[in-house]
Amino acid sequence: MNRALRDLLISAALGVGVVAESGATTIVTVNGPSSPVAVGDTFQITLTADFSAPVLGWGLDLTFDPALVSVVGTPTVDSSWTAVFSPDGDGLVGLAPITGVSGSGVLLATVTLQLLAPGNAVIGVSVTPGDLAEGFPLLPSGFDTIQFNAFTVPLPEPRGLVLLGAAVLTFGRRKLVRNRQ
Amino acid sequence: MASHAARVDADADGVPNSTDNCSVRPNPAQSDVDADGVGDACEGDIDADGDFDQDDVDLFNKVFGRSIGDPAFDPSADIDGDSRITFVDYQRLVALVTPPPAAASSSRACGLLGIEPLLPVALALRRIARNRKRSV
């Protein structure tokens, strides 16, 4: 390839990189079970992140309706981070090695929860504004902007709806048989 | 004996250890901007051995999140002096442990920051101009 053309392509790629970095955001996703969770059951969620740039740690708050869900035990911070003291006591803080951590789908922590009552149980995460022990500190300085993806606990089909569905199917089938006769 | 110990000045900065706010790194001015008793020269040197390395990071991990008044609070880890050990202190400690490459710092000193991505473009255009001249 012509050297001049190659240099132009490299510079174009660099330019794209600069633009992408300026609009970058860390995306945090709460992942949970796909099968229904019954009232009284415990289940696990994981917090994963897609990093737009290397970070030196993370600190988050879990958000949920305490009438529907409660945390069981202490969250487990993934081994790629150093679990440290969390000032708010929720155990959701990790420090990265000094080289920082980057990548997609990076596991932050695993949390065990219990479903206390039926309802729209949404598990989300947040960051307390102004709390410098939370968020995603970038390497070497500043904090990344964050986008959160919450998780809704799947519930078993309500018994009444199941019965109604079965009744409709039965009547429909009878009608079909009668029409054929 | 006691008077000799009082005169020991390990970092030879003219301030005896007994009154030096940073006895392992020379700081004759005794600057302590955040007034936490730890000289600015020693902020981040958590193990007080005169350098910034992984040992300091390991100790930092044990005091992260602590605030002044907490028995585990360590003023040498509170590098920004806000009375709380946070991610900002960690960022500053990491900068002390891994100083920026000489090339990057010199380009900043020359005021080139922000122009670097354009350099390959300039070089490519120059090369194209040369090739045209040769072909003519």
pLDDT at position A181: 67
Nearest residue of chain B to residue A94 (CA atoms): B61
- The values of phi and psi at residue A133, to 5°, are -100, 10
pLDDT at position A23: 53
- Give the count of beta carbons closer than 10 Å to the beta carbon of residue A180: 6
Alpha-carbon distance A48 to A32, whole Å? 11
Nearest residue of chain B to residue A59 (CA atoms): B87
**pLDDT, average across residues A149-155:** 97
pLDDT at position B65: 97
Partner-chain residue, chosen from A7, A15, A139, that has the shortest CB–CB distance to B117: A15
Token pair 């902007």: residue: A145
- How many alpha carbons lie under 13 Å from residue B99 in its C-beta half-sphere? 6
Distance from CA of B110 to the nearest CA of A (A): 20
pLDDT at position B2: 52
**pLDDT, average across residues A8-17:** 42
Q: Does A10 touch chain B (CB under 8 A)?
A: yes
Distance from CA of A101 to the nearest CA of B (A): 13
Higher-confidence position of B34 and A17: B34
pLDDT at position A18: 35
Q: Does B121 touch chain A (CB under 8 A)?
A: yes
Q: Does A59 touch chain B (CB under 8 A)?
A: yes
Confidence of residue A8 (pLDDT cuts 50, 70, 90): very low
Q: Are A47 and A118 in contact (CB under 8 A)?
A: no
pLDDT at position B61: 98
Contact across the interface for A85 and B65, Cβ inside 8 Å: yes
Alpha-carbon distance B95 to A75, whole Å? 30
Q: Does B72 touch chain A (CB under 8 A)?
A: yes
Alpha-carbon distance B121 to A126, whole Å? 42
pLDDT for A95 beyond 90: yes
pLDDT at position B107: 45
pLDDT at position B116: 57
Can you tell me the ipTM of this complex?
Answer: 0.77
List the structure tokens of A87. Answer: 């000032």
Contact across the interface for A133 and B86, Cβ inside 8 Å: yes
pLDDT at position B115: 56
Q: Does A141 touch chain B (CB under 8 A)?
A: yes
Please enumerate in sequence order all residues whose Cβ is within 8 A of that of A115, keeping only pairs 6 or more positions apart, or say none.
A37, A38, A39, A40, A41, A42, A43, A68, A69, A121, A153
pLDDT at position A115: 98
Q: Does B105 touch chain A (CB under 8 A)?
A: no
List the structure tokens of A111. Answer: 């949390």
Alpha-carbon distance B109 to B131, whole Å? 34
* Cα separations in angstroms, B13 against A153, B1, B30, B47, B83: 63, 22, 9, 20, 28
Distance from CA of A34 to the nearest CA of B (A): 35
The three-state secondary structure class of A26 is strand
Lowest model confidence (mean pLDDT) among A77-81, A143-147, B25-29, B107-111: B107-111
Q: Does A94 touch chain B (CB under 8 A)?
A: no
Confidence of residue A21 (pLDDT cuts 50, 70, 90): very low
Contact across the interface for A133 and B57, Cβ inside 8 Å: no
Partner-chain residue, chosen from A5, A86, A141, that has the shortest CB–CB distance to B91: A141
User: Which tens digit of pLDDT belongs to each residue from B72-111?
Assistant: 999 999 999 999 999 999 999 999 999 777 644 444 444 4
Q: Which residues of chain B have pLDDT under 50?
A: 103-113
Token pair 């089909």: residue: A157
Higher-confidence position of A125 and A22: A125
Chain B residues with CB inside 8 Å of A139's CB?
91, 94
Which among A82, A88, A97, A24 is positioned nearest to A60, based on CA atoms?
A88
User: Which tens digit of pLDDT belongs to each residue from A28-52?
Assistant: 999 999 999 999 999 999 999 999 9
Contact across the interface for B88 and A85, Cβ inside 8 Å: no
